[in-house]
Amino acid sequence: MPSVVGLLEQHELAARRRVDGLREEADRIQAELAAAEEEWQEWAIARRRVDTVLAPDGGNIAGEKAAPGPRDVDARSAPRQAAKPKSQVPVWREGLSWSVLSVDCQRIIETLADRARLHQGPLTCQELAVMFGLDAVPAKVEALRSKAKRLVARGWLAERQPGQFTLAQGPAGQGGAS
């Protein structure tokens, strides 16, 4: 008969796998949303340009001050360094550059690569959050932990002790270059 602790561990493992899967799906959806917003903004700009050209004055804008469109005022329309479209973490292989990773993942890798170069030990996600200038609140730390765990699963990072992340052997030897 299985022990209660063993059953609890099985349920915890299943719940953690579900959370990891949902986080990956959320990252994918977030990247698709960013790409869709960018495409929408490009179409809005194209429409405004056509409206300007087809205006009764023939598109003569000399001396006029351009009026901002509805999306220009919106702060969310500013270019962001969000996750790249389709920013799923590829499995590390020889010659694969860090540039294939999202900006956030690159930042984690670069920070841990610097520590490896200086022969410093691994970092926790809480320490990473502080180094990135983030508040070390659970939401920020867990977001970093999710990315770090995904990088571990794909061979970019190593977690020799629970919660202690360092650069994996392969990526450490290449120094980010392809």
Give the containing element (helix H, strand E) for 119: none
Q: Name residues of the chain where pLDDT drops below 50.
A: 63-86, 177-178
- This prediction has a pTM of 0.49
pLDDT (tens digit, 9 = 90+) per residue, 60-105? 555 444 444 444 444 333 334 444 444 578 888 888 888 888 888 8
**CB atoms inside a 10 Å sphere around CB 12:** 10
- Please give the distance of CA 150 from its chain centroid, rounded to a whole number: 11
The C-alpha atoms of residue 151 and residue 19 are separated, in whole angstroms, by 16
